[in-house]
Amino acid sequence: MNILLLGSGGREHAFAWKLTQSKLLTKLFIAPGNAGTAMHGVNVNMSATDFPSIKDFVLSNNIALVVVGPEDPLVKGVHDFFLADEQLKHIPVIGPQKQAAQLEGSKDFSKQFMFRHGVPTAAYRTFTKETLNDGLTFLETLQPPYVLKADGLAAGKGVVIPSTLQEAKAELKAMLADAKFGEASSRVVIEEFLKGIELSVFVFTDGVSYKILPAAKDYKRIGEGDTGLNTGGMGAVSPVPFADDAFIRKVEDRIVIPTIEGLKKDGIPYVGFIFIGLMNDNGDPKVIEYNCRMGDPETEVVLPRIKSDLLELFVAAGKKQLSSVSLELDQRTATTVMMVAGGYPGDYEKGKVISGLDKVTTATVFHAGTKASGNEIVSNGGRVMAFTALGNGIQEALNGSFAAANTVKFEGCYFRRDIGQDLLNWKQ
């Protein structure tokens, strides 16, 4: 069967890499893709949110299933667009419809959902411009640090955690009265600060049953020792030593099952991934956020640990028969180290020639921001490529990732050398 994969990051390269291992695949198209996805299929110069062009392409290339990588097309309703079209509605889309994508697209929607279905999460209240004064008074009742979240999508920048009351009040005013994040901060969620260690659990569901995929920890800050600005993610490790079987069972009982059952009770269909950002609070999991897609760079460590045919899982989910297929996992550890452009996540340059890719032997390279330029591959984004290795334990996997990262170069390239170090010494 022919597949169309939407997106252009490291996550999508990992999907493309995994899908080409499927016996069910005939031809893979990626829109818009990057220089890495082009090694596994045909890149199509089309935006992942250009729905009319996607329709034409799907019909003229006999596409039998569409996989959506990023949240943007989902929140904008790509799945609903297919269902509303006579010619497209029989084609399964892996990724939820617009309403369910609100689990990521609106913090207020997702908090209400969690409270309605008894999913453990931080206490919260939501404020608008009209209730700004109530919000300022509410802040006075809380202990620092304060967690303020723009309700809508804000390119990963919408969460602010000020440590003083004065800063928190200024931030709330900036978000609500001065539209700091535009329409996204027309509503602001203020919530209780959760202590603990973060990790992410991924679930794949057809809305009827579900599979829990490997858990992962990512490294969000640009600097070693978790310092500096937040990024899209600088590396990841799976499995996570502090998420043992007992912890994952708690996640399943207290979070995954109430979430899937909650969607059913609310009459919200869901086919796709649910990314659950969690805080491990002394052995008790609490939800920080839901995302309606896989994580990046978490996908680059989760998919290499899945032995099963991913396309077979997608096809079964499209028919709401996910329970009929099994999920087999690789018990080894996967690590990924992200190489970024100098200056990222601030201003950075593109178009730097990348060398050494042909010398990498210890890791799989997943391209994120790259493109072909003549015979060369050049950087084309902030996060440029991820080096994923498998090993018996974290150290062995890291050896593979770092050896690869040290082999590849471009002007100004940077990666964190401390990915996974905190987990090496982690003790229960």
Residues that bind ligand GLY (CB under 6 A): 218, 232-233, 291, 295-296, 298
Q: β-pairing, 197-205 with 221-223?
A: unpaired
- The residue count of the chain comes to 428
Instruction: Answer whether the bond into residue 32 is a cis peptide, omega within 30°.
Output: yes
Answer for which of 4, 67, 147, 398 binds ligand AMP (CB under 6 A) is 147
Answer for which of 198, 224, 312, 422 binds ligand AMP (CB under 6 A) is 198
Is the distance from CB of 280 to CB of 201 less than 8 angstroms? no
Q: Is 171 in the site for ligand AMP (CB under 6 A)?
A: no
- Min dist CB 198 to ligand AMP, Å, is 6
- Min dist CB 338 to ligand AMP, Å, is 16
Stretch that binds ligand AMP, among 170-178, 190-198, 207-215, 339-347 (CB under 6 A): 190-198
The neighbouring-strand residues paired with 68 are 6
**Hey, which residues between 279 and 308 contact ligand AMP (CB under 6 A)?**
288-289
Please, which residue, 297 or 318, has the CB nearer to ligand AMP?
297
**Hey, which residues between 337 and 396 contact ligand AMP (CB under 6 A)?**
none
The neighbouring-strand residues paired with 221 are 230
Answer for which of 50, 193, 224, 422 binds ligand AMP (CB under 6 A) is 193
Please, which residue, 30 or 103, has the CB nearer to ligand AMP?
103
- Min dist CB 53 to ligand GLY, Å, is 26
Tokens of 189: 């969620």
**How far is the CA of 154 from the CAs of 51, 109, 179, in angstroms?**
22, 15, 12
**How far is the CA of 27 from the CAs of 1, 40, 67, 171, 314, in angstroms?**
7, 9, 13, 49, 15
Q: Is 125 exposed, middle or buried (0-12, 13-18, 19+ CB in 10 A)?
A: middle
- Min dist CB 191 to ligand AMP, Å, is 5
Answer for which of 32, 262, 269, 277 binds ligand AMP (CB under 6 A) is 277
Q: Is 342 exposed, middle or buried (0-12, 13-18, 19+ CB in 10 A)?
A: middle
Q: Closest Cα partner for 97 from 119, 108, 82?
A: 82
Q: Is 422 in the site for ligand AMP (CB under 6 A)?
A: no
- Min dist CB 159 to ligand AMP, Å, is 4
Is the distance from CB of 298 to CB of 334 less than 8 angstroms? no
Answer for which of 104, 151, 191, 300 binds ligand AMP (CB under 6 A) is 191
- Min dist CB 140 to ligand GLY, Å, is 32
57 binds, among ligand GLY, ligand AMP, none (CB under 5 to 8 A by kind): none
- Min dist CB 125 to ligand AMP, Å, is 13
Q: Is 122 in the site for ligand AMP (CB under 6 A)?
A: yes
Stretch that binds ligand AMP, among 8-16, 35-43, 187-195, 293-301 (CB under 6 A): 187-195
Please, which residue, 44 or 159, has the CB nearer to ligand GLY?
159
Question: 221-255 burial by CB neighbour count: b if 16+ within 10 A, else e?
Answer: bbeeeeeeeebbbbbbbbbbbbbeeebbebbbebb
218 binds, among ligand GLY, ligand AMP, none (CB under 5 to 8 A by kind): ligand GLY
CA 326/CA 316 separation, integer angstroms: 10
Q: Is 354 exposed, middle or buried (0-12, 13-18, 19+ CB in 10 A)?
A: buried
Tokens of 229: 């600005």
| Crossing angle for the helix pair 132-140 and 165-176, to the nearest 10 degrees | 160
Count of residues near ligand AMP by CB under 6 A: 11
- Min dist CB 175 to ligand AMP, Å, is 14
- Min dist CB 233 to ligand GLY, Å, is 4
Q: List residues near ligand AMP by CB under 6 A.
A: 122, 147, 159, 191-194, 198, 277, 288-289
